[in-house]
A and B are shown apart, each in its own frame.
Chain A
């Protein structure tokens, strides 16, 4: 491996690099841990004779697992040996010369976001995976680099995506975060806040209801065994859920860096996403019914290439979550990080017509939509109240539709489409309003696109 001596020297000189040599081992770490466990137990039980004379004592499946593990180590080794990547002044090239030759080229201007993920085993060995999202198609993964190399490469890629040079002060980040002195930390979420959010989440309610069924039956029937058997899974699943949520979101940090917004999180596996703010296509605010009591909101954002990513709150890797739980202040800070000066409270929402109560009896008082000169705001939902914030300039298409019931009521649904992974934003209006809205909104979207083109904010 040709590690450059100083970060800046590498900007001009073009060298081919391989991923870290320990990559094949990290990829099969589960197997290694399993084998070490078996061998270790064997040694403990029988220190003089690690391999028993009577080989038939080994379970037959252990041999299969062993062989499969060796085969996958060999194939991973071959993969590692045949993979090289090159950082040139104009593009990142990933060459794979195994049985099939493959060369992927990423033009820096096409980069949507770059993530550094350290899964558990990789983290123990100080290694990280780099995921480069280029919009359409599958993202490009580099497995694995040393952590400093990964973060430095991330900085270089993002800097070139923004057409300026990388900061020289690479690497000064500790074990649980990924921030530099030059970065501005906007929001961090304390662990108790995460616990509070998880305790009041719909997932926990569902979990309690499902696992409490045997308990309730046990109490009714008077079976002690059923009560005990129902209580244990209840305790375990709640504990598991809470710890998983807290471990996944541990030390959640939203920071503003020169490369874009950076989200860092995780206790066992550390995930660090960087999204240029001008790539954000839309923002969604989720307020589940219980969170509304304590004034908390989840913020999701969508950008191109999110198709493959998860909205799951517990997984490692890139997700669409911008803020897993936030007070109104934190939400405002997050919104301003993407669209400075946006005042959500100043946007007056038009209420839905009374007739819409037949369609959405609970959510009816919250239905609404409003516009200002930059964004379209749509709010709906009772169980989870969702507010979409869509910039006019990002609107992809509009649709009004009405089935027999809606038409009988003189109503129509209007959907505003962006490159969003979730459900599309929709609102209920009278059909005359809907028609008017379609005309006005497409005009607004066109104006906004024109302005952006003039300012050169959006690059083709």
Chain B
């Protein structure tokens, strides 16, 4: 691919921060659970509906391979997230296959949510969701250290007040 020769447009220069490495643990658990449950249901259903053991074994094997591949990719996927606060905006870059770079002006933020489910709390993490007036914005940073997340939220709110220009 040409990206080795030229600078990668999705991985910009400057000081970018990643997610907490412990977020990979959370993702490993959720990926494992969803995949195992899904493939277990598929394999069991195939056994009862078709009744051919070799098909069930093939499905179970395919499921195991798929799950293993997903688990192997989790760490790389988590590492692909990058975010940075610049003087007027917040940038979030992410993705391995489908890559994205989102730029949200700080003056445009309507509210900033910090939230954490049981798994995130177990690892002492939290996610930050930025809401603008546009429904399409969908800017969130999952899996930050709780202290980092809270500090980011407070900083964003404060700067948004200073930058804010109404609607």
Contacts and interface: CB of A to CB of B under 8 A. Distances in A.
Interface of A: 135, 281, 304, 307, 393, 395-404, 407-408, 410, 412, 415, 417-421, 424, 431-432, 434-435, 438, 442, 445-446, 449-450, 452-453, 458-460
B98 A396 contact: no
Nearest to B87: A446
B88 interface: yes
A449 B12 contact: no
Nearest to B96: A404
Given A402-B10, A404-B97, A449-B107, A396 B102 contact: no
A307 B135 contact: yes
A417 B107 contact: no
A421 B136 CA distance: 9
Nearest to A401: B100
Contact of B97 (A304, A403, A458): A403
Contact of A397 (B1, B6, B139): B139
B132 A397 contact: yes
B105 A397 contact: yes
Interface string B18-36: 0000000000000000000
5 contacts: A397-B105, A401-B98, A402-B10, A419-B135, A446-B105
Given A396-B108, A397-B102, A458-B167, A419 B89 contact: no
B134 A424 contact: yes
Contacts of A445: 105
Contacts of A410: 2
B9 interface: yes
A408 B10 CA distance: 14
Contacts of A417: 132, 134, 136-137
Interface in B78-102: 88-89, 95, 97-102
A439 B93 CA distance: 14
Nearest to A458: B166
A304 B136 contact: no
A459 B165 CA distance: 8
A397 B137 CA distance: 6
B133 interface: yes
Contact of A435 (B9, B133, B136, B166): B9
A432 B100 contact: no
B165 A449 contact: yes
A400 B99 CA distance: 8
Contacts of A412: 9
A398 B102 contact: yes
A420 B97 CA distance: 28
Given A408-B1, A438-B101, 5 more contacts: A401-B100, A402-B10, A419-B134, A431-B10, A432-B6
Nearest to B8: A431
A304 B108 CA distance: 14
B63 interface: no
Given A396-B108, A396-B132, A400-B9, A459 B100 contact: no
A395 B105 contact: yes
Contacts of A393: 165
Given A393-B165, A435-B9, A420 B103 contact: no
A400 to B, nearest CB: 5
A109 to B, nearest CB: 10
B99 A442 contact: no
Contact of B133 (A398, A403, A419): A419
A434 B101 CA distance: 10
B124 interface: no
Given A407-B99, A442-B88, A397 B108 contact: yes
B3 to A, nearest CB: 8
A424 B167 contact: no
A460 B164 contact: yes
Contacts of B135: 307, 419, 421
Contacts of B3: 407
Contacts of B59: none
Contact of A459 (B101, B104, B166): B166
The 9 closest A-B pairs by CB, nearest first: A396-B134, A417-B134, A460-B166, A435-B9, A419-B133, A401-B100, A449-B165, A431-B9, A424-B136
A402 B166 CA distance: 31
A442 B103 contact: yes
Interface in B113-148: 132-137, 139
A410 B105 CA distance: 26
Contacts of A395: 105, 108
Contacts of A398: 102-103
A153 B105 CA distance: 38
B99 A401 contact: yes
Nearest to A436: B9
A421 B135 CA distance: 8
Contacts of B101: 399-401, 435, 438
Contacts of B105: 395-397, 442, 445-446, 449
